[in-house]
Structure 1
Amino acid sequence: MNRNRDHASKKDSGGVTKAALVPVSSGAEMTGRTESGGVVILREGGTSLLIDRPYVMGDRTIAAQEIYFVDGAKPAIAGEWLGEADKVAWRDEVSGYECIMMRETDGGYLAGYVGVPRSHPLYGFEADAIPPEIGIEVHGGLTYSRVCQEGPTPERRIAADARRVCHVPRASRMNEPTAHATGYRVEDAHAWWFGFACNHTYDVIPNRKQGSAGFLGPEVGGVYRDDAYVCAEVLNLAAQLRAIEDGAPMPSREGPPLPPIGLDSDIGG
């Protein structure tokens, strides 16, 4: 699968970059909707949501449906994470699957998710029950498998949606509050999500000190897995899941080689 059309220049894309994207809410009293330079911003407390904006990571641009920033989701100490979004949701044009990159608030690291429809052969499979011979390769292996989490309440809560692994509500595409849980897209209404996390022994976790148990960064070359890396892994996973649904050969991975899972002491390596 050729993903060249997903790549664009930061200068020419007109998209949201790390340098340009900063939290636009500043306190619990900030709630409502504003517009700035044609950008619609929804806010609830310390959570801000930008709708239908390109999101630029390295040399890749994603046509994001939703981009969230959550106050306090990542540490204030210097690091690559400071300019990143805390959740980005989009539909991958190549596979047709819904995709999410989301920050885990307990460690400040990123995780990635891909939702597959009921027609998919792996729908309903637990992550650890998928036979290795199927050939799914993603950072750290699959660690998440679950049906869509509960949809929005009649009055949409931006703060809750920022932590939810589920479809983008149709109403958000129209820049309006969701009126009912059925505001979620009717297609793939019960998608099954597979995901991975960047919180392994060979990963730098923003909220974990190097001296803490399980951190072997200096020994194994641990690095922080930034939004560009996680996005690429999400797209690799989507391409693999699409090939499985189509009965096609597994596509070649894009990006750097994966760290050996055997380095991760948490999973018996």
Structure 2
Amino acid sequence: MSTTFIAMGIALLAGIGLVVQIGILSLLSGALHFLFARPKLTILKSEKGENGFAFSFKWNSSREPAKFDQFKLRLYNPFGSPTQVIINRDYTAASSTFAQDLDLGNDFAELLSAKGLENASVEIEVISAKGAIVHHFIYKAPKFKDMLAKSTGTADEFNEKNKLNYAKPVYDLPKRSFIAEPLPASSKALKIASNPEFAGEFAGGGGSEAAAVENFSVTKVWIEEGCIVCDACVDINADVFEITGDTCIIKPGAPLDNGISIEEAAEACPVEIIKFAR
């Protein structure tokens, strides 16, 4: 009987020890994540003038794959005036470490010159609208102004230093070819446009005297999700299409008067995501 109790006691102690070890490892993992894997926002020096605000944002994109594209700056000033200022801005979505320099307008000047800032706080939100993810950073207003005044380095310098080189995937695009069977030998004259004897009959219908195919304009062109960055569209019309990192975009203000070229790019797209409307 005593041997049984001893064995049970040893098993119980071993179980308790295992639970304690798991708890310690969990705490260490959480502490390491808190210290080294937390998203980090750094205030940078803006090049947008007195209403500009620049910042960099780092996060573990492998654990939290998201594209951040919105910024919110909020002043809580319950004992001063104004009591609250909220500024929202959108920017180009980023899926890894990035920096932005935003023009926050006159509202930012109002925030910085508010009365009673010694008891106020400033909250910054970096938002992924599509992923519904928000990271909050809260500062005492005096500390925020001090960080702003002592900021160094610009957003452009940060992005250049942390620039990622995207390796473009290699895809084998299908090559279309057509080989016609040879025409049978005959003494008859072929009634084709290249035969001077019949050229006049083909006028207006694709013959030597036919008018060139008339180009057309499109009213809208867009790219749906799923780009594989094959460069086919850019090779056809670089005035409209542009490769940026891991996708393709329509250039701002792109000319839409070369419908033939845009249609050709849409037909050449291997994943068929280029769309346009006449």
Q: TM-score, normalised by structure 2?
A: 0.19
Higher relative contact order (CA 8 A, sep 6+): 1
Pick the structure with greater CA Rg: 2
Q: TM-score, normalised by structure 1?
A: 0.20
